A and B are shown apart, each in its own frame.
Chain A
Amino acid sequence: MASRKKRAAKISEDSEEEQSRRQRLQAILLADSFATKLLPLTLERPNVLLPLVNVPMIDYTLAWLESAGIEEVFVFCSMQVIDYLNNSDWYSHKDFTVKTIESPQNSTSAGDALRYIYEQQIETSQIQGDFVLVNGCIVSNMPLTQLIQEHRDRKKKDEKAIMTMVIRQSLITDHQLFIAVNPLTKQLLYYDEDNICFDKSLLDRNPSVLLCSDMQDCYIDICSLEVLSLFVDNFDYQHMRCDFVEGVLADDIIGYKIFTHEISSCYASRIENFRSYDMVSKDIIQRRTFPYVPDMKFSGNRTLKLERQGIYKASDATQLPSAHVGASYVIGHATNIGSGTKILNSVIGNGCSIGSNVVIQGSYIWNNVTVEDGCEIRNAIVCDEVKVCAGAIVKPGVVLSFKVVVGRDFVVPAYSQVSLLRQPMEEDSDEENLLSGVDLQMESKLGLDGAGYIWRQACEDEWKHSVPPIPKDKLAEIIKAIDDDDTDDESVVTTSGDANTSINNDLFDFEREVDGTFLRAVEENIVADLAVLEINSLRLSYNMESAHCAGAIFYSMMKLAVSTPHSSINDLYRNASSIITRWKGLLGFYVKKSDEQIEVISRLEEMCEESAHELGTLFAHILRYMYEEENDLLQEVAILRWSDEKAGADESDKVYLKQCEPFITWLKETSDDEDG
């Protein structure tokens, strides 16, 4: 910003404006696969080089950036991508320069990448101003120049507007994203990927808030240079969204603002997992990404010819007349298809040979794949040079990574991921071990002459992220969950009266946490003051009153007393009193007011009710102990107020009141005496 001011001082307003107009339009493309959603494929090939309808994804992104008016793009990528770009014709374009930045070994996230770019930026200052940050493999056809201009104009008016984020409407079942936007200024107010829970002050500060749960983030951002320096300042930022965006929104000290831009008629989508891979492929076949469709030459790709019913076919592909091919299907160059084969809704790459009587449905077959006679492949991704031997069946959701061989008549179970590489274990990240190839024991896993390991599934909900359509029952579950969520949301957002359930939940969580903290304090024998600090931080994070803390701590203390082994009621009393003595500093911190003391008494009452035959008999004793021995942990005012309150209650509620009646009368008498 300093340089900006200096410049402004040097030259007049007009020429600065001109300069910004002449400024090259630049983009940063983060083409490194930081996500693990596309494993096991990304172990062998970076995700931007995976083919999407027979064209590497990076070509879609670069072609789009070029035609959107970007003049210079910095591709942050691994060596493999650089090799690919060197062999492509992307360097030969006249008004579009591609520069690669090789990602250093230690970068594991978008945050690291941007910090690295910033370091380089200090030396070379290659990024001159606002830039487009493209995060991963994006397929789009949206124009950018106007959007960048809008961003610049806004930035000129408001120095704090550092980023414009592109969003679009989308399916609800697809993902979970909640955003809140100011409908007039389009400022982003809230962003969360899994649940919705925002500060009420948000509503106070903004007269109108548009809350959407049907938006999809396109991961296309127009950023000012401040974004890079923010990443450097906050060196713990890892992800663009859950760290950076949420960080900026939460931090109202610097007051940076993020704006949104919603697109409707143009297309933008990001490939994050197998499911979005499937969706985007279908969008491409349906020509939503026009002009980046298989029958147009937009990069080094060879064009296919569009025939009826959305069938794209290469001129040199051969297909026997008895083969049945259905709608929406792409077949690549030099591919052969045998007789009696049925293919529906699928993409077949270049140089494949498909035998006869094969069924392929909803699948993605990449290049040079051999499928022998009588196989069945449904909703699967089959990578380069895979061989599926005769009679094998590939169930829905399967991913067959590079060069895997599926043995004769073998059935690959649904949702399994098969790779020649072993699954990296969490405990040992030993790279050599990974690349050790095939061993005999594993071969049997894929049938007689198969080769490859079936990976263990990491998460339960793989159906959510893989190619086949979501099963009906799961879909019903999701919809139900969303409905439930909706009712929850209403209760949180609208009236505080209905919010009891959620507060109760909070209280329950809080008490559990306090209990845990207390037990740990006892185990590790921590000083009471430190325990106070811990409980205080809990109290702040749950936004609880000190009465709740007192109640919770006392509850934990009594629970500990009851759970310590004891032979008689007297033993129990001794336990309880010693615990109270030991931790009076902790409890005392929270029971300074009579309200809090009453809370403690009623908690004691509750607990006594729960275990009437043990603790119940001790109610009066414990009360008295806390009054007399322990320096007025409970004060008589509180005890008397409690008894007054209880006096009007039902008979059944008065059990403990009666038990300590003598104590209370004595208290009353002494206080009367003092008054007198």
Chain B
Amino acid sequence: MIPEPDVVSVRVTTEIDVAEARQEARKLALRHGFGTVRAHGLATAVSELAMNLVLHSARGGLIRLTVQDAPEAAVIELVSEDDGPGIPDLGLAMEDGYSTRGGLGCGLPGTRRLVDAFAITSCVGAGTRIVCLVRRP
């Protein structure tokens, strides 16, 4: 029997939504037996992606977290999706220190290091979609 997935989604348009999204993420991780370091890492990844939605996508976007939980292992899928301007050069955006808005430019590359799997697709004029996986143990 496959257990029902635990799903949380947050519409992100302002900074308050970012705070809510990462709180939800942390609670979700702790609820499914992830350690505090992993929960903190996931919350930070959510914070980075959500803040990017606020800063770089005019109309914000959606953060969705889905947990597949089994006794021996669990995985949280984090999806960030928007219909914003898209990213013209993904290679550049994934570089440490690259920012178009005066940030530190470590949001995307940092997030990739925080999670177990990371995939980004972006289409100029149509939007950006990022999928991350965080595993337990």
The answer on A and B forming one complex is no
- Which residues of chain A have a CB within 8 Å of any CB of chain B? none
